[in-house]
């Protein structure tokens, strides 16, 4: 076992697959005996969709998605952003509920030979309790992908400062034979979030025959598991009326938090996903977490293989924590726009909506939601290789560093060395003599100087 990945959610499974592509042996440990069937996320959006394309997974996801393609618009808190007036679609999405995403990623990990041990609980950083008793965790590196209450983060002594909302969110998926119009006819409800003096009510549907209802109110969280009666009473308090809720398929309650780990690495321990960051709004959690996995995977694999020094892992913190910090900023704003009540809240939402009607503010906000990362990524660049038209995404399937040689330069190919994949290609003008692209799609170097290329290949973070 080269790396122990703690948590068999989407982030842990994505990381394990990336590590296998990097040629090392991870083992995924999860304290749950079975996969989590809670539909906590309904889709993906932004650069992670492009990364799925780079790994050859986009078509697999699209085949089961309710929607796949550019979003015509997207909510920024209570303000709807309209992308149809922009010259290029800023945000691609896949609408697919989290349990199915997790199943597809588990399928991919299994194809690559990843071992997933369910019902195995981490006791300390060196000990696991499984169905057959305790055993030693003999792994040089441990990665916590184990969520908001991360045991790995706790054991590593990594602080998780931030704030906790004073509102409780109850969320439910209900099977119903009633038409959706019947729900929207109650108390003037519309699809989406509805503001009321006592709180807010969400009403939507992503699957025929299933209605999704959410209720936010300022109230303490009761003990025990959520119940249908509790949910109905919450709806009645906030809405002042009952909804024709059917059979509950899933009920949950949660309190939003805004938190960021003080560091993403402590020696042999690293954090990714909700173990490293919690966002209070905007559906960004899974998008950012999966991109954590893509950034960390190739770096950790290179260090374990001995192809890079241990310092390369420090670049994971320096590159990904600022992304989470920027995402935390914009999701805090979304939460504030939703939460602020009275005339002040109305005034803020009105003015923000007016600003969002202009192209540049819309483009900026869409860019933040697509990806708060400022590293230079290769777009879906068209290429010609051996006379055949292709794309950068097609070349990145095996998660290797690639030198795209556009000038047929033997000296650049020699400078790249044997561990770099060489692709001689022609591309659109203007383009440098060569591009060096990391396994996560970041352009690490472009130019024509072999000495500069050698230096970059040997530098941490490359």
Backbone φ and ψ for 448, nearest 5 degrees, come out as: -140, 10
pLDDT at 37: 86
**Which pTM does this prediction carry?**
0.93
> Could you tell me which CATH number the domain at 382-457 has?
3.40.30.120
Phi and psi at residue 440, to the nearest 5°: -90, 10
Token duo for residue 264: 């993403």
What pLDDT shows up at residue 461?
A: 52
pLDDT recorded at residue 459? 66
How many angstroms separate the CA atoms of 193 and 68, rounded?
A: 23
Q: Which residues of 436-447 are buried (b: 16+ CB within 10 A; e: fewer)?
A: bbbbbbbebbbe
> Rounded CA gap, 174 and 181, in Å?
15
Same fold for the pair 166-255 and 382-457: no
Query: What is the spatial distance between Cα 267 and Cα 264, in angstroms, rounded to a whole number?
Result: 10
| 3-162+258-370 classified as CATH 3.50.50.60 | yes
pLDDT tens across the length of the chain (462 residues): 899 999 999 999 999 999 999 999 999 999 999 998 887 888 999 999 999 999 999 999 999 999 999 999 999 999 999 999 898 888 999 999 899 999 999 999 999 999 999 999 999 999 999 999 999 999 999 999 999 999 999 999 999 999 999 899 999 999 999 999 999 999 999 998 899 999 999 999 878 899 999 999 999 999 999 999 999 999 999 999 999 999 999 899 999 999 999 999 999 999 999 999 999 987 899 999 999 999 999 999 999 999 999 999 999 999 999 999 999 999 999 999 998 988 999 999 999 999 999 999 999 999 999 988 889 988 778 899 999 999 999 999 999 999 999 999 999 999 999 889 999 999 877 678 999 999 999 999 999 999 999 999 876 554
- Number of C-beta neighbours around residue 217 at 10 A: 17
Strand, coil or helix: 135? strand
User: What residue segments make up the domains of the chain, in order of their start?
Assistant: 3-162+258-370, 166-255, 382-457
pLDDT value at residue 462: 46
**pLDDT in the model for residue 432:** 87
- Longest CA–CA separation in the chain, Å: 74
The number of residues making up the chain comes to: 462
User: Rounded to 5 degrees, what angle do the CA atoms 312, 155, 309 make?
Assistant: 15
Cβ count near 306 (within 10 Å): 7
Q: Which CATH class is domain 166-255?
A: alpha beta
Torsion angles phi and psi, residue 243, rounded to 5? -110, 150
């Amino acid at each position: 076992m080269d790396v122990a990945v703690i948590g068999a959610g989407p982030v842990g499974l994505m990381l394990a697959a990336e590590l296998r592509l990097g040629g090392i042996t991870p083992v995924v440990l999860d304290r749950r005996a079975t996969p989590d069937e809670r539909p906590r996320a309904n889709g993906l959006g932004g650069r992670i969709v492009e990364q799925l394309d780079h790994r050859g997974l986009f078509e697999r996801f699209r085949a089961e998605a309710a929607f796949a393609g550019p979003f015509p618009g997207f909510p920024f808190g209570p303000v709807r952003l309209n992308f149809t007036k922009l010259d290029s679609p800023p945000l691609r999405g896949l609408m697919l509920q989290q349990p199915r995403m997790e199943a597809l990623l588990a399928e991919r990990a299994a194809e690559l030979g990843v071992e997933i041990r369910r019902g195995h609980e981490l006791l300390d950083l060196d000990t696991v309790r499984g169905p057959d008793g305790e055993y030693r965790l003999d792994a040089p590196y441990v990665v916590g992908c184990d969520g908001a209450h991360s045991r790995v983060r706790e054991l590593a002594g990594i602080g998780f400062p931030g704030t906790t909302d004073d509102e409780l969110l109850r969320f439910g998926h209900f099977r119903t034979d009633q038409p959706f119009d019947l729900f929207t006819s109650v108390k003037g409800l519309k699809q989406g979030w509805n503001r009321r003096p006592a709180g807010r009510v969400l009403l939507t549907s992503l699957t025929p025959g299933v209605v999704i209802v959410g209720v936010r109110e300022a109230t303490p969280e009761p003990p025990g598991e959520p119940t249908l009666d509790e949910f109905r009473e919450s709806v009645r308090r906030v809405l002042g009326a009952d909804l024709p809720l059917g059979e509950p398929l899933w009920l949950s309650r949660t309190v939003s938090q805004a938190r960021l780990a003080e560091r993403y690495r402590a020696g042999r321990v690293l954090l990714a996903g909700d173990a490293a960051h919690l966002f209070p709004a905007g559906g960004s959690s899974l998008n950012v977490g999966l991109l954590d996995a893509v950034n960390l995977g190739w770096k950790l694999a290179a260090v374990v293989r001995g192809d890079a020094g241990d310092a390369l892992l420090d670049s994971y913190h320096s590159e990904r924590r600022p992304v989470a910090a920027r995402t935390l900023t914009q999701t805090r704003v979304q939460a504030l726009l939703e939460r602020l009540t009275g005339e002040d809240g109305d005034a803020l939402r009105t003015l923000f909506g007016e600003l969002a009607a202009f192209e540049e503010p819309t483009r900026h906000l869409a860019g933040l939601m697509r990806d708060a990362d400022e590293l230079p990524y290769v777009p879906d660049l068209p290429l010609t290789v051996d006379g055949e038209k292709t794309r950068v995404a097609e070349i990145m399937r095996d998660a290797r560093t690639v030198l795209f040689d556009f000038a047929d330069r033997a000296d650049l190919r020699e400078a790249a060395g044997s561990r770099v994949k060489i692709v001689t290609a022609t591309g659109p003008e203007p383009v440098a003599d060569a591009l060096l692209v990391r396994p996560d799609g970041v352009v690490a170097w472009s130019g024509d100087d072999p000495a500069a290329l050698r230096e970059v290949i040997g530098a941490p973070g490359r």
